[in-house]
Copies of this chain bind each other. A is one copy, B any other.
Amino acid sequence: MPKPITFDPGDKIKLEDVPARPDVGGWDKKSAAERIEHNTEQSRELAYRLYAENKQTLLLVLQGMDTAGKDGTIRTVTTGINPQSFQIAPFKQPSAEELDHDFLWRVHKAVPRRGNIGIFNRSHYEDVLVVRVHNLVPESEWRRRYDRINEFEKLLTEGHVKIVKCFLHVSKEEQRERLQARLDNPDKRWKFSKGDLAERKLWGDYQAAYEDALNKCNTEHAPWHIIPSDRKWFRNLIVSELLKDALERLDPQFPPSEEGLDGIVVE
C-alpha cells in the first residue's frame, strides 16, 4: 500500500530530495478510486464507533503550498463519511481579535471535541510559514514558535487527541500548470487571484520555511507525513489510507451499556 514519506525525529530532510511524483508501484487512477471507496466504508464505520465511544479525538492537520490540493483532499477522503463526525476548521487570515492574542489562541479554540475527527485546513503552521516569509513578526519571535508548537501538540496528545500532520508536497512546475488551468478554465477562474502570482515568486522562501517546520516539528508525539501530491489521485489514496489506518489504531469501542437493563419492558 502506498505510504507517505516519514522520517525519524532528529533526522533532517531536504524537500528538493523528496519526489512529488514518485513511482506509483502498479497503482492507477481506477484502482486508487476503488481502494479509496473501500477505505471510506471502513472509516465510516470506525468514525461511528469513535463517536459512540466519545473518548478519543483524531486531528488531521493539512498544510501545503497554494494549489497543493487541501480542499480536494478533504473532499475526496471525507465524502461518504457522516459529516456529523467531523469538525473542519479552515484557518484564514486571522481577525483583529485573533491577532490580539498569542498565535495558538485561535487554534486551541478549534481543537475538536471527543468522539470527533477534526481537520485543520491550514493550521498553526501558517504562523511559521506565511508569517515568516512576509516578515509579519520579527524573526526572534517566529524562531521561538517551533518549540511552542511542539509543546502545544504535546499537550493535545497527552490528552485525548491523536494528531496526524500531512504536508501536501507539490513541485513548482505542477503548481504552474494548476494555476494556468485555473486561469484557462472559466469554471475555475474565480479561484484565481493575481496575488497567487506574487506568492509564487516567493516559492524558494516558502520551501525553506516548510523545510524548517518539517524538521523542527517532527516529534515522536506528532510526526509529519509528506504526501507526494503532483498526482491528485495518488495524493488522495495516501491520505485516505492514512485516515483509515489512524482510526483503526485508535480502535474505538462501543461503550458499555448501563447496569440493570436486562428484562426491562418499555410501556
- Enumerate chain A interface residues (CB-CB to B < 8 A): 44, 52, 71, 74-75, 78-86, 88, 90, 119, 121, 176, 179-180, 183, 187, 189-190, 192-194, 197, 200, 254-258, 260-261, 264-267
Chain B CB within 10 Å, residue with most, of A176, A183, A260: A183
Q: Contact: B80 with A84, CB < 8 Å?
A: no
Q: Contact: B189 with A266, CB < 8 Å?
A: no
Residues in B with CB closer than 8 Å to A267 are 176
CA distance A29 to B201 in the complex (A): 56
Residues in B with CB closer than 8 Å to A197 are 264, 266
Q: Contact: B79 with A82, CB < 8 Å?
A: yes
Q: Contact: B79 with A74, CB < 8 Å?
A: no
Given A190-B256, A258-B194, are A78 and B84 neighbors across the interface (CB < 8 Å)? yes
CA distance A183 to B264 in the complex (A): 8
A and B contact pairs by CB, cutoff 8 A, 11 listed: A44-B79, A78-B83, A79-B81, A81-B83, A84-B88, A180-B265, A180-B266, A183-B264, A187-B254, A189-B257, A194-B264
10 new A-B contacts at CB < 8 Å, known A74-B83, A84-B88, A86-B86: A75-B84, A79-B83, A80-B80, A84-B119, A176-B267, A189-B257, A190-B257, A192-B261, A193-B258, A194-B258
Q: Contact: A257 with B187, CB < 8 Å?
A: no
Given A194-B261, A258-B193, A266-B176, are A79 and B78 neighbors across the interface (CB < 8 Å)? no
Name A83's contact: one of B83, B193, B264 (CB within 8 Å). B83
Q: How far is the CB of A78 from chain B (nearest CB, A)?
A: 5
Q: How far is the CB of A232 from chain B (nearest CB, A)?
A: 16
Q: Contact: A190 with B254, CB < 8 Å?
A: yes
CA distance A267 to B172 in the complex (A): 10
Residues in B with CB closer than 8 Å to A179 are 266
Q: Contact: B84 with A192, CB < 8 Å?
A: no
CA distance A111 to B258 in the complex (A): 34
Residues in B with CB closer than 8 Å to A261 are 183, 189, 192, 194
Residues in B with CB closer than 8 Å to A254 are 187, 190
